[in-house]
Amino acid sequence: MENIELKCASLRAQIAATEFQLSALKQELEATEALRGAPSQSSTECSERKWPLSAEEYKRYGRQMIVSEIGLHGQLKLRSASVLLVGAGGLGCPAALYLAGAGVGTLGMVDGDTVESSNLHRQVLHRTKNVGKYKVDSAIEYLEELNPHTKYIAHREHLSPQNAPLVFRDYDIVLDCTDNPATRYLISDTAVLLGKPLVSASALRTDGQLMVLNNPPKPPGDPSGGPCYRCVFPRPPPADSVVSCADGGIIGPVVGTMGVLQALETIKVLTKTTNQDTHPALNQPLTADARPALHIFSAFSTPPFRTIRLRGRRTDCAVCSSQATVTLTTLQSGLTDYVQFCGSMSTSQVLTSEERVSVRDFQPIYTSKKPYTLVDVRDPVQFGICSLESSINIPITKILHGKIAKDVNATEQPQSSLPSEITSPDSTDPIYFICRLGNDSQLAVRRLKELGLDQDGQRYIGDIRGGFRAWKSEIDPEWPEY
């Protein structure tokens, strides 16, 4: 029974891939007929006028069409293409901006979030007046002013295994503009199962990565198809190693660079001719190396770019190999659990209620003259932005890797890589930890207790629940929010 199910899934994938190839051939036929002046059956507009593009479109796209790699042939392909961007944030905004500008016929955007002030330094389609508005609506409002020829479709929802196939099915190519592993695997799996090429990018702090996956989009089991996200990363990163832009930070031009490169790679995929074709302008066979690659960008390195060649599809891949276990059925039924697969970094239950204090309970301690130690576990850069008076800065990374090496000579102080304020065996002053959101501070408490610094319960060690976000909300409204 299992073999029959696998065969059915493989046949569905082959049908989807064949339909995609048929659609591409129809687009190419339409473009070729337009070039020779023959009427196209699928385009009434082309049959009613002498030229395949309007006069305004020739002016709008002229600088692009005179590039030999594009030409009129490529421009017509772009106009008949449909592109889906999953995410309307730091990556999706610049990618959508340049795809709309290039003249892509249909542009869809998926995002269930709303615009926040903290988005505006890097998410270039959103404006101050649109704070609180759906990101997809804010982005499309801008894009419609940029290029009214493109059709825009707003998907005001978060992507899920249940809705992903329905959303993807009407598009030719997908861009992954998200920022979490679970969604990345979902997007890649759906793209493979529906025969869609995928342009995936990521950015954090000063670095970025870019890949074109499932290109060409062959059915599962066909080794000539491009690798998928699971082929490159068969195992997700440890949940506690995943850092978001909100926690790790991001420089706007870095994520903008990666989004622009996504748009460029999308244009290359959409306008590319087959290996049997010749260059439309030079009349020469195409010989460019189309092997998959991982492009790595580091803003503060010289040179800033480097490329790593990727292997083809893995023979044991769970979605694109002949032994695939991920199918449309397992995906939509919920049998493929992406959150469980990637793990979840939840610190909400790390400590007991006795090990935590609210900001309101800590405020009288903070203003009193009673001895205590307040440790801010943010990194030095964030500590420099704002900090509470009398607090000391010990980054969470130092605490998690801190060691206590007790000397055999009991008369000497224990050797430690941590500051004496928290390691002194002579002090029973309570220690309070605080961070930005109240997550890292819990990990710090747990680590110090593992090192035995609570002196068998004689010394109180706890965290301030909610961190500086709660401090601003309940104690000091003027506290800087970043």
Q: pLDDT digit string (tens) for 203-251?
A: 999 999 999 999 999 999 999 999 999 999 999 987 766 777 777 889 9
Residues of the chain with CATH 3.40.250.10: 353-475
pLDDT in tens, 359-407: 999 999 999 989 999 999 999 999 999 999 999 999 998 998 877 655 4
46 or 113, higher pLDDT:
113
Residues 6 or more apart from 15 whose CB is under 8 A from it?
Answer: none
What pLDDT was estimated at residue 72? 96
What pLDDT was estimated at residue 119? 96
Is residue 42 scored above 70 in pLDDT? no
Is residue 282 scored above 80 in pLDDT? no
270 or 237, higher pLDDT:
270
pLDDT in tens, 122-162: 999 999 999 999 999 999 999 999 999 999 999 999 999 99
**Superfamily in which the 55-275+289-342 domain is placed by CATH:** NAD(P)-binding Rossmann-like Domain (3.40.50.720)
The amino acid that residue 440 corresponds to is D
Is residue 281 scored above 80 in pLDDT? no
Residue 21 vs residues 217, 280, 315, 347, 377: alpha-carbon distances, Å = 9, 20, 24, 47, 54
Is residue 411 scored above 80 in pLDDT? no
Is residue 454 scored above 60 in pLDDT? yes
How many Å apart are CA 231 and CA 318, to the nearest integer? 9
Residues making up the annotated binding site are 90, 111, 118-122, 135, 179-180, 228, 231, 317, 320
Strand partners, 161: none
Mean pLDDT of the chain, nearest integer: 87
What pLDDT was estimated at residue 247? 74
What pLDDT was estimated at residue 47? 45
pLDDT in tens, 160-207: 999 999 999 999 999 999 999 999 999 999 999 999 999 999 999 999
What pLDDT was estimated at residue 50? 80
CB 393 within 8 A of CB 422: no
* Confidence at 334, pLDDT banded by 50, 70, 90: confident
Is residue 96 scored above 70 in pLDDT? yes
pLDDT, average across residues 261-278 = 81
How many Å apart are CA 109 and CA 178, to the nearest integer? 12
Residues of the chain with CATH 3.40.50.720: 55-275+289-342
% pLDDT > 90, the chain? 69
What pLDDT was estimated at residue 1? 55
How many Å apart are CA 307 and CA 316, to the nearest integer? 25
CATH architecture entry for 353-475 = 3-Layer(aba) Sandwich (3.40)
Residues making up the annotated binding site for Zn(2+) are 228, 231, 317, 320
DSSP notation for 172-223? SEEEE----HHHHHHHHHHHHHHT--EEEEEEEBTEEEEEEES-S-PPTT-T
Is residue 290 scored above 80 in pLDDT? no
DSSP 224: T
Hunting for tokens 């439309």 — which residue is that? Answer: 280
What pLDDT was estimated at residue 237? 84
Residues designated catalytic: 245, 435
How many Å apart are CA 429 and CA 251, to the nearest integer? 40
